[in-house]
């Protein structure tokens, strides 16, 4: 039975290219002997694997020539791409300071032993936030996109330890699909499957992970450990909880605020999440 895709690639096309590529191929055995074979003499498993690679290449060409049209039903090499909803991020507070360190810092500025909780709110109202730099929090963040990570690392007074695409195999990676209408959502998923399929093909061909990663999309999920002091966190919340902020980092910032406000209400109690656009 002839197999065809939405892009018009058929098994007949694949076999024609296969015969051109493999007729007269030289196979070297482990004992050093050489056998000349044709396309039809290839082992069935090997031939089907090659077929899939040829088919994927043809579909990619059709895909580019058709200007991203007819993506629904596109057959691509590589595993099915699992996707997360927009609220996929998981945030956990690993460790945090006691507000007492801020109270002691305020007191030291005034030659005293300890300041009251009210003094924390007062110095914040006055804009004297340097004392907040003694308070810090460390977060375990999982399941944000690399696009979100790029925004997060704009905040430079912080420490980041991020899952490395140079050392980690991303063959089974997942990705964020934004809240877009159909059929655009299906096209998003098809594009992801193509990218992850090609990434896997590169690894199978012996390409190092540090080079194969260049094809991974911005939507690929990542994990990290993040540490920020309270002054930088307040600045981060001011920017990323604004209604103009991008939706994914806004959701991340909202979760982070919920966690630290519970532990340090006098430092973060005045921060509010603006209504979304």
Question: pLDDT of 131-175, one tens digit each?
Answer: 999 999 999 999 999 999 999 999 999 999 999 999 999 999 999
Task: Give CA separation, 217 vs 89, 146, 147, 165, 222, in Å.
Answer: 17, 8, 9, 12, 12
* pLDDT at residue 68 tops 90: no
pLDDT: is 47 or 139 the higher one? 139
d(CA 32, CA 24): 18
The residues that are catalytic are 240
pTM recorded for the entire structure: 0.68
Which residue, among 133, 157, 263, 162, has the nearest Cα to 221 in the 3D structure? 162
Tell me the three state secondary structure of residue 155.
coil
How much is the pLDDT for 183? Answer: 84
* pLDDT at residue 62 tops 60: no
* pLDDT at residue 2 tops 80: no
Contacts of 155 (CB under 8 A, 6+ apart): 228, 232, 235, 236
Contacts of 103 (CB under 8 A, 6+ apart): 114, 115, 116, 117, 119, 120
Region 238-252 average pLDDT: 95
Sign of CA dihedral 117, 122, 124, 128: negative
pLDDT: is 71 or 93 the higher one? 93
Pairing state of beta strands 221-229 and 136-145? antiparallel
How much is the pLDDT for 72? Answer: 32
Query: 65 falls in which pLDDT band (50, 70, 90)?
Result: very low
Tell me the three state secondary structure of residue 225.
strand
pLDDT: is 263 or 77 the higher one? 263
Termini Cα distance of the chain: 52
* pLDDT at residue 67 tops 50: no
């Amino acid at each position: 039975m002839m197999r065809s895709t939405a892009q018009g690639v058929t098994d007949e096309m694949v076999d024609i290219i296969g015969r051109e590529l493999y007729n007269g191929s030289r196979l070297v055995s482990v004992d050093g002997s050489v056998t000349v074979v044709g396309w039809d003499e290839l082992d069935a498993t090997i031939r089907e694997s090659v077929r899939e690679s040829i088919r994927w290449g043809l579909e990619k060409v059709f895909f580019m020539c058709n200007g991203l049209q007819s993506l629904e039903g596109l057959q691509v090499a590589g595993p099915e791409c699992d996707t997360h909803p927009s609220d996929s991020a998981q945030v956990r507070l690993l460790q945090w300071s006691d507000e007492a360190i801020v109270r002691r810092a305020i007191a030291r500025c005034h030659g005293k032993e300890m300041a009251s909780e009210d003094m924390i709110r007062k110095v914040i109202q006055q804009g004297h936030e340097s004392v907040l730099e003694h308070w810090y929090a460390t977060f375990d963040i999982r399941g944000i996109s690399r696009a979100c990570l790029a925004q997060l690392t704009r905040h430079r007074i912080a420490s980041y330890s991020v899952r490395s695409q140079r050392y980690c195999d991303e063959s089974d990676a997942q990705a964020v699909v934004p809240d877009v209408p159909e059929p655009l959502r299906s096209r998003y998923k098809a594009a992801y499957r193509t990218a992850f399929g090609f990434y896997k093909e590169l690894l199978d061909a012996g390409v190092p992970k540090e080079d194969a990663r260049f094809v991974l999309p911005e939507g690929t999920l990542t994990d990290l450990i993040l540490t920020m002091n309270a002054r930088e966190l307040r600045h981060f919340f001011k920017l990323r909880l604004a209604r103009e902020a991008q939706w994914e980092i806004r959701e991340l910032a909202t979760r982070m605020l919920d966690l630290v406000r519970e532990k340090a209400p006098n430092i973060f109690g005045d921060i509010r999440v603006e209504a979304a656009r």
